[in-house]
Amino acid sequence: MVDLNNSGIDGTATKPVLDAACMAELRALDPDGKAQLVKRVLATYQTSLAKLVAQLQLARTEGAWDQVSRVAHTLKSSSASIGALALSALCAEIERLLRAGDSNGAQPLIDQFQAEVQRVDGAVRQTLQQLEAAAS
């Protein structure tokens, strides 16, 4: 596997984009890989990520902070399930701030969110390519 260690949202290079333990748990659910569970989960996540990010951006533009909070909540859970722990933590903090009514405090985190989404999307894409290559 390609090393997916990239700079985290905190600027360190010690945290992988996709947590190895979470990915191992996914692989353990389909040990022989015949069901292509990891591939299906990651592909579904990637599609969902694109839609949810678009929804979040639109809601942010419209000042619909309750919708931004709901999207962050959804992404918090799904991101954690594939091991995108930095994105999950960022979503949790955005959700917490917005539930407290602090949209101003959430703004810089939403900007960080956009950068982390790019990192996660790239790592998911790379992992899917590796799975395709391994299946060939």
According to the model, what pLDDT value does residue 26 have? 93
According to the model, what pLDDT value does residue 42 have? 97
> What average pLDDT is seen over the chain?
90
Look up residue 136 and give its amino acid.
Answer: S
According to the model, what pLDDT value does residue 14 have? 55
Measured on CA atoms in the order 108, 112, 114, 115, is the torsion positive or negative?
positive
The count of domains in the chain is 1
According to the model, what pLDDT value does residue 4 have? 40
According to the model, what pLDDT value does residue 73 have? 97
Instruction: State the CATH number of the domain containing residue 46.
Output: 1.20.120.160
Asked if the structure places residue 104 within a domain, the reply is yes
The span from the CA of 74 to the CA of 71, in Å, is 5
Domain that holds residue 107: 20-135
The span from the CA of 65 to the CA of 103, in Å, is 7
Asked if the structure places residue 29 within a domain, the reply is yes
pTM of the model: 0.87
Question: Which parts of the chain sit beneath pLDDT 50?
Answer: 1-13
According to the model, what pLDDT value does residue 135 have? 81
Asked if the structure places residue 117 within a domain, the reply is yes
